[in-house]
Amino acid sequence: MSAQLIKGKEVAASIYSELKPRIEALKKRRIVPGLAAVLVGDDPASATYVNSKIKACKKLGLYSEVVRRPQTLSQAELVEIVASLNRNEQIHGILVQSPLPKQIDELSVTLTILPEKDVDGFHPQNVGLMMIGRPCLLPCTPHGIIKLLEYHRIDPAGREVVVVGRSNIVGKPLAAMLMQKARMADATVTVSHSRSRNLSEITRRADILIAAVGRPKTITADMVKSGAVVIDVGVNRVDDSTTPKGYRLVGDVDFDKCLDKVSYISPVPGGVGPMTIAMLMSNTVEAAENIT
């Protein structure tokens, strides 16, 4: 058995096709959905992520701007930047790129963003609404994972889903979304992590296994049930002198060893990553529709 690849670019393209008529409808009302990204410091990975998001905005015809500030930016200065974007009627979505410098409290910044402009879905108000299954701006990566499953007609209802990782960005919100009494949910969800005992026994129960731990090849072939669906969220740099950059990107799953054992698997790169950006675009359009 050779697994079918879950390719994020293909699914993201379908999301963009669905967004285009909504964007045109807004433009007929003289509304251009706008996204502002705040980038603090000079972290290369953060700059790459922000550039990818801005490129997606341009492709869809969305307004975008990047606010760049040095690593020495103070908490008060960042809060004022966010407050000014809250007041800016051209901006419907605000994201502050992580990680932030040590002198800045990330939660305080998140709380400053208006919930209706919180296109990352991190504001506690949106998190609370998500937990009780009410409409809100959903976190991009978890929502993107669910869209991947939906596109491939992999219904989690009644299935055993194991999420490896408990971050506030992926693990926790994804588990909450999958256990809702709703379409593309109704799963039996187990959240495991670095302190879980007998992790292999837990992961081998999974009909759908989602790896989001941030460590290369944590999930090996012997940890996966035959025929399972595997979604790899991890993006890890490993040294590779044979490549021009001196490194390559790998996931949290030992992709090559699992490929012939599972039914579906997402590659790294090219799996979940494009969906995170696609859902950010979707949230920006939704925010523009809601605000106006």
pLDDT at res. 242: 86
Confidence of residue 291 (pLDDT cuts 50, 70, 90): confident
Distance CA 287, CA 88 (A): 14
pLDDT at res. 248: 87
Distance CA 142, CA 139 (A): 6
pLDDT at res. 100: 94
7, 118, 120, 172: the catalytic one is 120
| pLDDT exceeds cutoff 60 at 130 | yes
CA 270 from centroid of its chain's CA atoms: 13
pLDDT at res. 244: 87
Q: Per residue in 208-262, pLDDT tens?
A: 999 999 999 999 999 999 999 999 999 988 888 888 888 888 999 999 999 999 9
Q: Per residue in 28-81, pLDDT tens?
A: 999 999 999 999 998 888 898 999 999 999 999 999 999 999 999 999 999 999
User: Is 117 in the active site?
Assistant: no
Q: Which domains does the chain have, with CATH numbers?
A: 30-115 (3.40.50.10860), 140-273 (3.40.50.720)
Question: Averaged over 176-181, what is the pLDDT?
Answer: 97
pLDDT at res. 239: 86
7, 97, 118, 225: the catalytic one is 97
User: In this structure, are strands 236-239 and 247-250 parallel, antiparallel, or unpaired?
Assistant: antiparallel
| pLDDT exceeds cutoff 90 at 104 | yes
Distance CA 67, CA 85 (A): 10
pLDDT at res. 245: 84
Question: Averaged over 267-287, what is the pLDDT?
Answer: 97
Which DSSP string do the residues of the chain spell out, in sequence order? Answer: --PEE--HHHHHHHHHHHHHHHHHHHHHTT---EEEEEEES--HHHHHHHHHHHHHHHHHT-EEEEEEE-TT--HHHHHHHHHHHHH-TT-SEEEEPSPPPTTS-HHHHHHHS-GGGBTTS-SHHHHHHHHTT---PPPHHHHHHHHHHHHTT---TT-EEEEE---TTTHHHHHHHHTSSSTT---EEEEE-TT-TTHHHHHTT-SEEEE-SSSTT-B-GGGS-TT-EEEE---EEEE-TTSTTSEEEE-SB-HHHHTTT-SEE--TTTSSHHHHHHHHHHHHHHHHHHH-
Confidence of residue 128 (pLDDT cuts 50, 70, 90): very high
CA dihedral over 48, 37, 169, 271, signed as positive or negative: negative
User: Is 71 in the active site?
Assistant: no
Note whether 263 and 3 are within 8 A (CB).
yes
7, 53, 172, 261: the catalytic one is 53
Distance CA 36, CA 284 (A): 10
The whole-model pTM stands at 0.95
Average pLDDT value over all residues in the chain: 96
Question: Averaged over 170-175, what is the pLDDT?
Answer: 98
Torsion angles phi and psi, residue 219, rounded to 5: -95, 110
Share of the chain above pLDDT 90, in %: 91
Confidence of residue 1 (pLDDT cuts 50, 70, 90): low
Distance CA 4, CA 27 (A): 39
Query: How many C-beta neighbours within 10 Å does residue 187 have?
Result: 23
Q: Per residue in 139-158, pLDDT tens?
A: 999 999 999 999 999 999 99
pLDDT at res. 243: 87
Distance CA 288, CA 156 (A): 30
User: Is 120 in the active site?
Assistant: yes
